[in-house]
Amino acid sequence: MHRVDVLIIGAGAAGMLAAAEAGKRGRRVLLVDHAKKAGDKIRISGGGRCNFTNVNTSFKQFLSENPRFAISPLKRFSAQDFIGRVRQRQIAFHEKTLGQLFCDESAQLIIDMLLDDLRDAGVELRLKTNVHRVQKTGDRFVVELDDEQVEADKLVVATGGKSIPKMGATGFGYDVAQQFGLRVVETRPALVPLTFDQSTLAPIKELAGVAIDPARVSHGKTRFDEALLFTHRGLSGPAILQISSFWREGDQIGVNMLPGMDLFAQLRAARQENGKRAIQTVLSQHLPKRVVDFVLETQQLGGNLADISDKKLKSLATAIEQWMIKPTGSEGYRTAEVTLGGVATDELDNRTMEAKKVPGLYFIGEVVDMTGWLGGYNFQWAWSSAWVAGQAV
């Protein structure tokens, strides 16, 4: 039997950072993953450039039964702490928008940094290794891998959520939690494109490929001003991904294609200034032409401003600023960036990420019921929760 101090399952963002931290503290650490490579989601994240944190991270950008659970971990290992490591490693990065930090070159540089940290900390990394069974006997964990049993004082579950099963995502972490009697908050795909029924989709299909940046997409009181993208399957882009985490079946979402503008007032002023201008020309100053054509067609409008009544201008402005649309679903875990829900925070101690009922068992990263908005928050949660566990195991 192979004996270690700490066994970590899942060599993603959280697992790698926690393993390195524990290794640095002199623990004998084994990190296993069934995938061929460690940190595969980091590699594809942020369009290959990894939006590795957000300078504005606070608990307010997280969805959870108890977002405040994140306060202490985010404080103890903050965005600035991770940025410090990126700087020290001399990885060039830039702020894209809204505090989001991306690598200038490649996400692989973040993976390489973490892999070097593992090596320096003496962590044993075993890839292409399946975990068949987890048991606790006395105060030790016995874990059955493909070819051997491992005995560990501490077991850290860092297997992420269910998003993108093609990349090796599984519900393993939730199963382990349930096996040990821990509550799991219902999971659902989040940060995911939304889909529509044929009657809604048919008219907007011709807009596939068009972006509106920014659009204001809202659900109840929640709203995001970010880019919206029309696709062949429905709507996507950052604004839609953000709202997808809040949307529930049966709900409508609102789209304001021209946030921060009083379109009716603008159109009236334009008419007064020069009524001979075509409505299409005026709107095209603010919106992509294909969107303008689509809206004018649905409103059965055209011609010169002078010939359009206030009532019709008002109705046009409403169609553009208050477009209500009802998604029928989402693209699901196949393309979702993250998984909402997970191991309930009230089962865990946020000073250590240890399960209150099961000494020695830890959950970190996305497997926990702590889901960030789009914009680097999810990685920061992975780093922060992992660091906390790394100090405790």
Q: Of 34, 24, 32, which is closest to residue 7 (Cα–Cα)?
A: 32
CA distance 46 to 42: 8
Residue 77 corresponds to which amino acid?
Answer: F
**Least distance in angstroms from the C-beta of 339 to ligand FAD:** 8
Q: Considering the rule CB under 6 A, would residue 365 count as an interface residue with ligand FAD? A: yes
Residue number, 226 or 337, with CB nearest to ligand FAD: 337
**Least distance in angstroms from the C-beta of 89 to ligand FAD:** 18
Residue number, 327 or 372, with CB nearest to ligand FAD: 372
CB burial readout 64-92, b (16+ within 10 A) else e? bebbebbeebbeebbbebbbebbeeeebe
CA distance 286 to 300: 19
Binding part of the chain for ligand FAD, among 89-97, 158-166, 238-246, 261-269 by CB under 6 A, reads 158-166
Position of tokens 């807009």? 207
Q: Are 125 and 4 in contact (CB under 8 A)?
A: no
**Least distance in angstroms from the C-beta of 364 to ligand FAD:** 7
Q: Are 161 and 366 in contact (CB under 8 A)?
A: yes
Residue number, 132 or 248, with CB nearest to ligand FAD: 132
Q: How many amino acids of this chain bind ligand FAD (CB under 6 A)?
A: 36
Q: Residue from 23, 46, 73, 193 that binds ligand FAD (CB under 6 A)?
A: 46
Q: Considering the rule CB under 6 A, would residue 369 count as an interface residue with ligand FAD? A: no
Q: Residue from 4, 51, 150, 217 that binds ligand FAD (CB under 6 A)?
A: 51
Q: Considering the rule CB under 6 A, would residue 164 count as an interface residue with ligand FAD? A: yes
Q: Considering the rule CB under 6 A, would residue 78 count as an interface residue with ligand FAD? A: no
Q: Considering the rule CB under 6 A, would residue 12 count as an interface residue with ligand FAD? A: yes
DSSP labels, 4-64: EEEEEE--SHHHHHHHHHHHHTT--EEEE-SSSSTTHHHHHGGGGT-EEEETT--GGGEES
Binding track, positions 309-348, relative to ligand FAD; x by CB under 6 A: ----------------------------xx----------
Cβ-in-10-Å burial (0-12, 13-18, 19+) of 104 comes to: exposed
Q: Which residues bind ligand FAD (CB under 6 A)?
A: 9-15, 33-35, 40-41, 44-46, 50-51, 131, 158-160, 163-164, 168-170, 172, 337-338, 365-366, 376-379, 382
